[in-house]
Amino acid sequence: MKSDRVFWIVGLLAFLLLFSATSEQAIAGTTGKIKGQIVDSNGQALPGANVIIEGTSQGTTTGPDGDYLILLVNPGIYTLTTSMIGYDQVSKTDVQAIADFTTTVDFTMNETALEMAAIVVVAERPPVEPDRTTTKYILDNSNIEEVASIVKDTEQVLELLAGVGLDGDTSIRGGDTSSSGSGSSDVVYYVDGVPMSAVNVERRSHASRNFQGVNASAVQELAVVTGGMEAEYGNAQAGVVNIVTKEGSKDFHGSLDYLLNPAGKKHWGSNVYDSPYYEDKMKWNDSNWTGETDPETGRRVHERTDYTGVIGHRLEGILSGPVVENASFFTSARYRGLAAVFPEGKQRGFYLYPDRKSGWVASPGNIEASYKLTGNARSKFKVGVGGIYGRSGSYWGGSGARRQLGRDIFLPEGSGSGQVKYKNDLTYVSLTHILTPKTFYEAKLSFFRDNQDTTNVPVDQYGEGVTEDIRRDADGYFTAAPSTRTEYQLTKRERINFKLDFSSQITKGHFVKSGFEVAFDKVLTVWERWQSMTSFSLRVAGKPYTRDKPWEPIQSSWYIQDKMEFHGLVLNVGTRYDRLDWGTQVPQGEHGLWSMAPMTKSWTRQQLIPLVDAKALQAWSPRVGVSHPITDRATIRYSFGVFRQLPSTWYIAQYGWVSRARAADFNNNGQIDPTEVGNQSDSRDWSGFWDRIKYETTTSFEVGTDWNFVGDYISSLTVFYKSGTDQFFYGNSYWWDPQLQAPQRGGADWRNNSYEDVRGIELSLRKNLSHGFAFMVSYNKQWVSAARQSGWWRTYFVPDSNWVATGTNYYVTHSRDTNGDGQVNSSDSGSEVPVPLTTDEIMEFGHRANERLRAIQNGAAADYDPLKESEIKEMEDWPGMWSYKQFNVNPRGRGTAQGTFGTERPGFGSAVFMYHSPTDYGPVWSDISVTLVYRMQEGRARRFALPGEPPKWWFGPVHTRADLAFVKRFQLRNQVRPTLYFNVRNLFNQRDLQPRPDVDWWKNGLDQPRPDSGKYNQFGDTGELSRYAGFPREIELGVMVSF
């Protein structure tokens, strides 16, 4: 395939460049700076002094004023050494470089009389980063390793940081997630400076979580920006997750981590086969029922399986080492074969949301891996190569297709059609060219692929679906055998991304960065489902009105930013330009209009919809951030910015149809020709492709302070306000049909008709590891007002007589005589051709159209309300077509203090406590770590009224969970270090209700059905399997070996 060819060409090129040139991997957005001044014992500047970073080839010489600057320093802890003839050599250890920050290390050198003596001091880390102009939280490799036994996955590590939601969606400050709202996550992810995912994430694809492919063991530094992002980051409204992966090493190092998750019931409530959930449907005491067999297969229908007896496994390993001299590699891979909570299509796999044990991916075989090639610089060119690789599978299908809770619980494991294969790959090459010691540019080329395909899907001889009726047991309830079912989703998303950044420390106080980025995307999703032999639905997101051609938009951006430093004040100013070129023509007007007009309602007739050139989408986004020191241990910061984001491609580009009958053989040739496929379908819901959409926009303002108030205790407090406008949600189009003389409700067009406002407080308190103890506490409290369909949510289209009379716009009949011979037979193509209106029809329909128009203009139309609806006007880009809009006076909002479209957690937080015993406490008690992670989330809101009172919003129950890890490390005489650990998840076995329970919880304190409920008194709590959040306490055992 073409994409594979590109993949290999890029990889080969990178490989050749690697060994022909140099390389120390250096990718911007992923490196920091070290600067400082060197003076003598009298405080006089020392020009010409050398400064090197030990263990690297990086270094520089001080200038006339004794200042030095080293750019492109990879995140990590270093030793800096200065030397100068006539002076004692000085080394400072524990110098930490952080991506996108400047570390200041000053030196004082003493004259030496006889020989150069060496002085080693420990660098005093700045308690707070003085150049932090936005809210940014950073975890380095050592922080991640401290919690590695209990926090296994990258997304779980992210959740420990303030501002990041705990629902597993990595929402930031209440922003949209990949499973909510417009389906587009407000967060952008970077790995080694390369953006992940193609054209925004969306919930219908596994790739919406592809950053999971970066294993926690591969992370060198993880940073989350929850406040204003600098101008170099775009296409996100809430924040940035920046992951820097580890470098290779000069010697071989590695580790293997195995975790055993013992068998056991992993859900609240009874064993499913005995649960009140099934009321009286399970008849284990009835020998006729237990002995029933399927007459077609002879298989016993009702058979219990030991779904709680499955042992789960998790294996993760890393390996790094030299490749050749001056080049090294790092690779990490992970396998997860955990047990499903309930009987599932396949009982081993993993969870997309491990903390909720939801989002089950039935994939006994799976792998997530990352790799990186690096080297030491020999010249001014630096090259890096890396990537992520993921493979897994699952099931795709509805009822009767696979084993699952409900009526399908007795289906055999592994049965059913519709098995899915997922492939997620990211490959990148970066080139850094240092022009001068203060100026460099970086170019990054990346290729991203996210594919999902369904296998073993049955189709008939015509390629149409084959779906059998579900066969039930003798009682007519449980599914006796897996039905043959046609349902599949094919998703192909690819992106070739090129980014060029130019950076220069122009003067001492100005660090300017500018760049541009262009992304070539291919997006195709086809989701087809046959509910029965005659009923199917189809949704496509791709090139308009095609079924197998991808949409190929081009996104480009340009930015410039200047980081200015004046006497401790840091000012970060920038602006960004974003643009979308559609790469295709789009329907004239709105697809929603055409979707319900009789003349273009079916899939085949929609091929006749006129397409026009699309206007490019473009926007500017200014950004400002300021940081000012209050004392040497405290800073205050402000940031303001406008952030744009393209809505999800799924909602921009999708079309949907349903059909109640199989395709008709229009040309009577005894087969369904390609031109006949879909000719009995109707267009339905979720229509897209409208070039009048805009970027979603969030204007964000925040004020924060960082304070190292005592010792190594650091607090951060931020107050923020975000105003989201032009948020994407659907509205409806209405087309007034002249023949029918009535408005036809069109499909739901997605449009920018919603808003959301978020105000909140974000608190972080941490103590770095010292004296064996460390902790990290974070808490977010937010107040949200949001309303869907809050603006002009309905659009009405009314043609005039000119439009009707063109002869090419409007039809009321179609003919199947495609060759014009007066007959319909096998010589015709099978498609339909529109029949032009007669003169009388033009006159009649044109008259009706004008009458309608005049009635609205004169206010005489009964269904037109000038108080709610705008003035009707002719569309500038569509002569002859008039439109007006209706303002939604009752938006589907959630009032105040509720939540955004998917994340309604008004408050959430976590606390991590770590204790580490000293290494000299004897063989038993030394090198022991105990880590406790405590999470808290407030409940979601429900609106109801108490007697005599107006409706109000009420918050639901809190959910808390504590996890404990106990780790014992051993040191053998060779370099091998075994480690044993055990984890206790949900240490206190806390059982909490789901975040939004029934109203009875608020009114009567009930978390179970009412005491007068007949069903409850007869069967017990039929909702017990889904009533509670989280999972019961479970213990995991692990062993890790590192060398």
Name the residue nearer to other proteins (CB basis): 923 or 1011: 1011
Name the residue nearer to other proteins (CB basis): 859 or 1005: 1005
DSSP state of 606: G
Name the residue nearer to other proteins (CB basis): 839 or 919: 919
Binding site for other proteins (CB under 8 A): 911, 925, 934, 936, 938, 946-947, 954-955, 957-958, 960, 962, 987-990, 1000-1008, 1010-1012
d(CA 138, CA 117): 37
CB 218, min distance to other proteins, A = 31
CB 718, min distance to other proteins, A = 20
Residue with tokens 């993880």: 222
For residue 418, give Cα distances in angstroms to 20, 365, 459, 529, 595.
Answer: 47, 16, 12, 10, 29
CB 1012, min distance to other proteins, A = 6
CB 147, min distance to other proteins, A = 17
> Which of these, 312, 367, 276, 303, lies nearest to 1031 by C-alpha position?
312
d(CA 1007, CA 1002): 9
Structure token digits, residue 398: 């509805």
3-state secondary structure of 852: helix
Name the residue nearer to other proteins (CB basis): 859 or 947: 947
d(CA 678, CA 685): 16
> Which of these, 178, 155, 196, lies nearest to 449 by C-alpha position?
196
CB 581, min distance to other proteins, A = 50
CB 1028, min distance to other proteins, A = 13
d(CA 679, CA 320): 58
Name the residue nearer to other proteins (CB basis): 59 or 907: 907
CB 934, min distance to other proteins, A = 5
DSSP state of 921: S
Name the residue nearer to other proteins (CB basis): 575 or 960: 960
CB 918, min distance to other proteins, A = 11
CB 1005, min distance to other proteins, A = 5
3-state secondary structure of 520: strand
Other Cβ atoms closer than 10 A to 854: 12
CB 944, min distance to other proteins, A = 9
Name the residue nearer to other proteins (CB basis): 820 or 923: 923
Residue with tokens 């496929």: 677
> Which of these, 75, 137, 48, lies nearest to 716 by C-alpha position?
137
Name the residue nearer to other proteins (CB basis): 862 or 945: 945
d(CA 504, CA 497): 23
8 Å CB contact between 126 and 103:
yes
CB 1010, min distance to other proteins, A = 7
3-state secondary structure of 853: helix
CB 259, min distance to other proteins, A = 22
Name the residue nearer to other proteins (CB basis): 521 or 992: 992
| Neighbouring residues of 387: CB distance < 8 A, sequence distance ≥ 6 | 370, 371, 372, 425, 426, 427, 428
Name the residue nearer to other proteins (CB basis): 536 or 955: 955
> Which of these, 431, 450, 451, lies nearest to 441 by C-alpha position?
431
Name the residue nearer to other proteins (CB basis): 129 or 938: 938
Name the residue nearer to other proteins (CB basis): 126 or 1009: 1009
Name the residue nearer to other proteins (CB basis): 871 or 1012: 1012
Torsion of CA 48, 49, 50, 51, to 10 degrees: -130
Name the residue nearer to other proteins (CB basis): 768 or 989: 989
8 Å CB contact between 498 and 443:
yes
CB 1004, min distance to other proteins, A = 6
CB 269, min distance to other proteins, A = 16
Q: 32-40 and 102-104 as β-strands: parallel, antiparallel, unpaired?
A: parallel
Total H helices, total E strands in the chain: 11, 55
d(CA 202, CA 652): 11
Q: Where are the beta strands (DSSP E) in 130-186?
A: 136-140
Q: The dihedral of CA 664, 666, 669, 674: what is its sign?
A: negative
Q: 239-245 and 187-191 as β-strands: parallel, antiparallel, unpaired?
A: parallel
- Residue 406 main-chain phi, psi, to 5 deg: 115, -145
